[in-house]
Structure 1
Amino acid sequence: MKQIIVIMLTIVIATSLFAGDFIELVESIPIETTLDNDDIRNTSEVWIGMINSAKKTLDFGEFYISHKKGDVLEPVLAAIYDAADRGVKVRFIVDGNMYKTYPETADELNKHVNIDVRVYRLNEITGGVLHAKYFIADNKKIFMGSQNFDWRALEHIHELGIGIENKKLVSFYKELFELDWSLSAEDADTNTLLSNIVFSDDIKKYEMKIADLGKVSLIPTASNPRIIYHKGNWDETQLVRLIDSAEENIRIQLLSYSPLSKKHLYETLDLALRKAAARGVKVEMILSDWNFYSPRIDYIKSLHAIPNIDIKFSTIPEASEGYIAYARVEHCKFMVIDDKEFWLGTSNWSKSYFYNGRNLGVIVENIKLAKKISQIFAKSWNSDYCHLVDLEKVYQRKETGE
C-alpha cells in the first residue's frame, strides 16, 4: 500500500512540475511502406485527441480541406462537429486559390452551428497563398507540420508534424491567426489592417521543461515579412542562422527545393548550404521525385556536385489500390543541425513561400528530439525509396495530378 501511495505522489508531483508543457513529434506514413516509427503517434490519432480535448476554441489555418465519404479524414471531421455541438467555437481559414478546387467540405463546415469558415485571398494581398497547416486548441495547444487537411496526408504521404502545449509559445501563433482572420473577412480593409501592424526586430524565444526531455528551447518562425509582427522570427532569417551555426552535419528533408524564382536566382539558402559545405559541414538532403523538371533539376544537380553535399530523391511506390493523384510522395519539411536542434515547418524551400505566402514553423533545441528526427531522416535515407542524384541521368517529369 505504501508503495502505491509513493507512486501516486510521484505522478502528482511530476504532473504539477510539468503541467502545461508538452511536445511530441507526429508522423503520417504512406501505407504499404517500411517508414513507420512505432514510438511516434500517427497524425489522425493526435488530431482527434487534440480536437476532443478542446473546451472553448479551435482555430484552424489550412491550405485546403479535401475529404471524400468514408475516408480516414471522416473521424477527424466528426470530432470537429462534435466539438461544435458541445459549444466549442470553431474557426477555419482556408486559402482562396485552393478553395476554388476544394470548396465542398469547407462549405459544409460553414453551415454547422458554432463553425465559421473564411476564405483567405492572400494572393490579392501579398501575392502568395495560405500554405500553413496548423490548428490551435483553447489558445494553449498547437499542431503544425507538413500535413495538409487532406485524407491523403493521413495514409498516402510521408509527413512530419509537431504537437506542443505551452500557452506562451502558442500566443505567438494565435496572434498571427487573428491577423489572418481579420484579413480574410469579406469586408476587410486590408490596407488599413496592414498599416496598423506594429513590427519589432526582436526574436521571440521560449523555454519548457519536460520530464523525460529536460530543457526544451523553442523559437517560433513564420512567413512572410509583411504579415508577421516579430521580424527576427522570419523563417528565412532563422533558417540561415541555423545553417551558419552548423559545425558537423545538416540533414534536410523536403517536398521541393528551388533556387530559381521567376527566372531570377533565389540564392539565400543555396549559398548558405554551399558555405556550410565549404567549411567542412556534411550536408545531406532528401527531396521528393516531384522535382524532376528543368531548370529545377539542374540546380539540384549543381548543389549535389559540391563536395560534402549529397542529395537523394525519394520515390514512394504506388499503392496496391492503384494511382492516387497528389499522393505517394515525400512531403516532410524539416532540417536538423548537428543532432542538437531542428526546424520543422510548413514551407517548401523556394522564394515565394518565404516572401509571399503564410507559413509557420518552429525551431526546437533539444538533443533527444533532434536525434529522433535524425533517425527519421536516416530511415528514409537508407531505405529502398531513396537514391542518390545521378548527374548524368535525364530525369523524366513525374505525373502527380488528376
Structure 2
Amino acid sequence: MEKTQDNPEKNKMGFKNLLMNGGLEKKQKKKNSRILSFDSIDVFEDNFSISDTRPGTPCKLSYFPISIILILIIIIVLLPVFNHRLAFNPDLLGPIAPPPCSDTCDISLVESIPENLVYNSSVLRKSTYSAWKELLNISESRIELAGMYWTLRGKDIQYEDESAWQGEDIFKNIKSAVKEKGLELWIAQNQPNPEEPNLDTEDLEQTVGARVRSLNFTRLVGAGILHTKLWLVDRKHFYVGSANFDWRSLTQVKEVGVLVKNCPCLAEDMGKIWDVYWALGAPGASVPKSWPDSLSTQINLDTPVSVLNSHLSVSISSSPPPFCPQGRDSDIEAILRTIDSAKEFVRVAVMDYYPATLYRSHTQFWPVIDNALRKAAIERKVKVELLLSDWDHTIPSMLYYLRSLQALNGVAPGVHIRVRMFRVPSFTPAQKKVPFGRVNHNKYLVTESTGFVGTSNWSADYFISTGGIGFVFAGALRNDLEELFQRDWNSSYASDL
C-alpha cells in the first residue's frame, strides 16, 4: 500500500474532533488561560518544554513517574486474578507435555509366523511365544491380562493338534509363575457366551485364585466386544498387539505386536486402560459421564512421551471413545491423524477393511478411514498401499470396497492406490483342518514418520463399540515396522487384488 505524507492541518482538525467526540468541553474562564486545544499544544513545536511549569501545561516531567506507578499497580492487582483463572482453567495454558521418560525402556516388535511359512528375506522379529515367556519370567508381583477369549490349550477348541504345544506351555507357565512366585493374577475378559465358556480362565480361578471380571458390552455401550489383547506385568512391562490368548495365535496365525520391558512410564499409562476395563467388569457397572482424574493422561498425540534411551516418542490410544478418560486419544483419532499427517506414503496391513458396520442388523455406512485415504492420495499425492487377508473367511463384499478404492489409482498424475491380498497357505492336511487358522491377522499402519500397532480390525464396529488399544510411535522402531510391511508386500504370499 502506498504511504501518504502527513498533513498538519488535517491532523489538527482530527485531534480536535477526537476531543469533542470524547465529550471533553472546557469553558474559558480567563482570557489568558491555557486550554487543552491543539492551538496551544503541539508536541512537535520548539516552544514546548517538559520543564515548563506554568499552570495548564499539558505534560510535565512529574507525570512520567506517576504513569509508571499506575502501570505497576495495575500489574500487581491483575496478575493474581490472571493466575487464579489459569489455576481453574488449565486449558488456557494449552497441552502440558509429560516429562521425558528416563526409564531404561526396551521396546521391540514381535510377531507370530505360522508353521512352514518361509520368507526369502532376513527380516524376522522375536516370536510372540518368546515375548510372552519373557514377561512371565521377569514377573515379580502382579500379572494383569485383558482379552476377548481364552483357548491356549488344544482341547479348548475340541481339536487336538501338535502345534498347540506353545499355547499349552504358556498356560502352564502362567500357573507355575503364580504358584511359585506368589503372584497376583487379574484377568479382564469379554463376557463369555454361556455355550462357549472360557475354560482356561475358569481353571485359573479354581487352581491359582485368579481374579476374573467379564465385560458385557451390550449392556455397557449397546453392542460390541472386548477385542483387546494385552499383557501387563508389574506395571513395568507389557505386550499389546493382534495375538489372542489362543494357541493358534502362536503357531497357526500371523500376528504383530509390541513388547515393552522395564518401562514404568509407559506401563503405568497402559495400566490406566486396564483399570477402565476392570472397573467396567464389576457387577452392575456402567460407563460414567466422566472418568476419575486418576485415569486421565497427559500422554497423547499432542503431547507424546519421549522415551530417551529408545529414541522414540510414544502415545497410547483406546477404543471405544466412551472408554477414554480425559487426555486419552481414541483409536480412530490416532489412525486418522496418522493418515492426515503423512506426506509420502501410508501402508496398512489389516485382516479386514470395511467402511461400514459388519455386526449390526442394519448396516451403517462409515467411510471415515476410506475418505482419509482417498484424500491423502488425491490431494497430497501420498502413496497408499493396503495389504488385506485372503483366507477361508474373507468377507466377499469387502472386495467391492477395495476395488472401489483401487479404481482411483492413476485417476490423476501422482495418484497411487494399490491393494494386495496376503494368503497363508496350508502346507499339510493337518494345517488345513485347524479351524480359523492360517490367516494374516495383523492390524497396523505405517507412514514415513509414524507407526501404529493396534488390536482392531478396520470396520466401523471396532471403533464405535469395541474395546481396543493402539500403540503410536515415531523413531527407529517405525523403520522395523516398515520393513515388515515391505517383506510381506513383496513376498510370494501376496498377490494383486
Q: TM-score range by the shorter chain?
A: 0.7 to 0.9
Partner of residue 302, structure 1: 404
Q: Percent identity?
A: 27
Partner of residue 329, structure 1: 439
Amino acid at match of 2:400: D
Deviation at 1:38, TM superposition (A): 6.0
Partner of residue 479, structure 2: 371
Deviation at 1:101, TM superposition (A): 2.6
Match of 1:318, SS?
coil
1:286 maps onto 2:387 in alignment = yes
Distance 1:383 1:148 in 2: 25
Amino acid at match of 2:257: G
Match of 2:289 among 178, 190, 195: 195
1:206 maps onto 2:305 in alignment = yes
Where in structure 1 are there 5+ consecutive unaligned residues? 1-16, 390-402
Partner of residue 140, structure 1: 236
Cα distance 1:232–1:322, how it changes in 2: closer, same or farther (>3 A)?
closer
Partner of residue 33, structure 1: 117
Where in structure 2 are there 5+ consecutive unaligned residues? 1-100, 156-163, 410-415
Partner of residue 388, structure 1: 496
Give the number of aligned pairs: 365
Amino acid at match of 1:310: R
Is the Cα–Cα contact under 8 Å of residues 97 and 129 in structure 1 kept in the other structure?
no
- Report the TM-score when normalising by structure 2: 0.70
Is the Cα–Cα contact under 8 Å of residues 255 and 330 in structure 1 kept in the other structure?
yes
Distance 2:123 2:395 in 1: 35
Distance 1:295 1:75 in 2: 39
Is the Cα–Cα contact under 8 Å of residues 376 and 382 in structure 2 kept in the other structure?
yes
Partner of residue 63, structure 1: 148
- Compare the two structures and name the one with the higher strand fraction: 1
Distance 1:245 1:345 in 2: 18
Match of 2:185, SS?
strand
Distance 1:88 1:206 in 2: 30
Deviation at 1:97, TM superposition (A): 4.3
Match of 2:288, SS?
helix
Match of 1:130, SS?
coil
1:177 maps onto 2:285 in alignment = no
Deviation at 1:115, TM superposition (A): 1.5
Distance 2:220 2:104 in 1: 36
Distance 1:264 1:370 in 2: 34
Cα distance 1:293–1:331, how it changes in 2: closer, same or farther (>3 A)?
closer
Partner of residue 4, structure 1: none
Cα distance 1:219–1:376, how it changes in 2: closer, same or farther (>3 A)?
same
Match of 2:201, SS?
helix
CA RMSD of aligned residues (A): 2.1
Partner of residue 360, structure 1: 469
Is the Cα–Cα contact under 8 Å of residues 232 and 238 in structure 1 kept in the other structure?
no
Deviation at 1:232, TM superposition (A): 5.0
Match of 1:51, SS?
helix
Match of 1:55, SS?
coil
Match of 1:263 among 357, 363, 366: 363
Is the Cα–Cα contact under 8 Å of residues 103 and 265 in structure 2 kept in the other structure?
no
Distance 2:403 2:210 in 1: 47
Deviation at 1:375, TM superposition (A): 1.3
Larger gyration radius, structure 1 or structure 2 = 2
Cα distance 1:99–1:334, how it changes in 2: closer, same or farther (>3 A)?
farther
Deviation at 1:39, TM superposition (A): 4.8
Amino acid at match of 2:137: N
- Report the TM-score when normalising by structure 1: 0.85
Which deviates the most, 200-209 or 85-94? Answer: 200-209
Match of 1:238 among 316, 325, 334: 334
Distance 2:231 2:297 in 1: 26
Distance 2:454 2:219 in 1: 24
Deviation at 1:118, TM superposition (A): 2.0
Offset from partner CA, 1:62-85 (integer Å, 9 cap, x none): 111112156321111121111211
Is the Cα–Cα contact under 8 Å of residues 103 and 264 in structure 2 kept in the other structure?
no
**Residues 210-229 of structure 1 mapped to structure 2, 5 A cutoff:** 210=309, 213=310, 215-229=311-325
Is the Cα–Cα contact under 8 Å of residues 51 and 79 in structure 1 kept in the other structure?
yes
Offset from partner CA, 1:243-271 (integer Å, 9 cap, x none): 01111111110010100224221111100
Amino acid at match of 1:328: R
Cα distance 1:98–1:341, how it changes in 2: closer, same or farther (>3 A)?
farther
